Amino acid sequence: MDFKGKVAVITGGASGIGRSVALALAKLGTDIVVADLDDTRLGEVRKEIEGMGRRALAVHCDVLKDADIDNLAEETFKTMSKVDILFNNAGVSIRGRMENISMKDWEWIVGINLFGVVRGIHAFLPHMLERGSGYIINTASGNGLVGSEPPAVASEGIPYTASKFGVVGLSEGLFGYLRPQGIMVSVLCPALVRTSIATNARYIMSDSEKKAKLQDAEKLFTKNMGKAADALDVMESDDAAQLVIKSMEEKRFFIITHESQYEHLMRRGQDYRKLEKYLQDAFGK
């Protein structure tokens, strides 16, 4: 795939994987539209892209809001005239036990993680269909492939897992629908990648529990992580970005960051009766 002269729109583009993909594509000659809520970081990324000699547009955008996505599309077409790549990357997390999570919190996480992707597709897909070309990448999660985790983790991440399973299902449907029309679709399913999603999560728990969770996230997802985090194979966001680029070149549907994910996915897909036994063994009958 030739990235030179293409235009990419990236939500959640001010930090983490979104920022890394924006810069990686810019190095390959792509003009970039970055969308995010963090105006300061948006400005920094825009300057970095312009420093590479590429056109850059930074748009304040909350993917939870229809009006913001509509404005993103309007500004993009006004400035760039076209869109070749859409990276629906913005995402959030909630940690807390199911019985303590309010409907407003459910609406927030599903509204961003799943409907944020839908809004992006709704805004830019007609343009791609009209041109008969394009590439859509949706960010899900390793939790969108295999939702079962150790009980202590699974009990706190059900809304996140549910929203990310939705992104995978949406992406599979889009792949079958759009590929015959010249539009490629991939779904990014990162495992442990160094981003700010854990430290920026909503924690529905006591202050002491939240403090402990934030400390754990700090150990894992900051530059000062220790040996325990190294052993868990935390990937740098720049490395994840290179994987995204390579997967686009090879037109892979699943973009999976860690080899161990393939084993879990294959075990899940081989036989659902085995999956049932695995869940019973892991969580207790």
Question: DSSP per residue over 209-266, as a string?
Answer: HHHHHHHHHHHHHSTT--HHHHHTTPBPHHHHHHHHHHHHHHT-SEEES-HHHHHHHH
Instruction: Pull the structure tokens for residue 71.
Output: 């404005």
Q: Which of 160, 177, 272, 278 is catalytic?
A: 160
Stated as kind and residue range, the H or E segment containing 185 is strand 183-189
How many other C-beta atoms lie within 10 A of the C-beta of residue 1? 13
d(CA 181, CA 135): 11
Three-class DSSP category at 268: helix
d(CA 270, CA 285): 21
**Residue bearing tokens 């900051």:** 222
CB contact at 8 A, 140 and 91 = no
CB contact at 8 A, 41 and 12 = no
Say whether 135 is catalytic: no
Instruction: Pull the structure tokens for residue 97.
Output: 């036990």
- Return the active site residues: 160
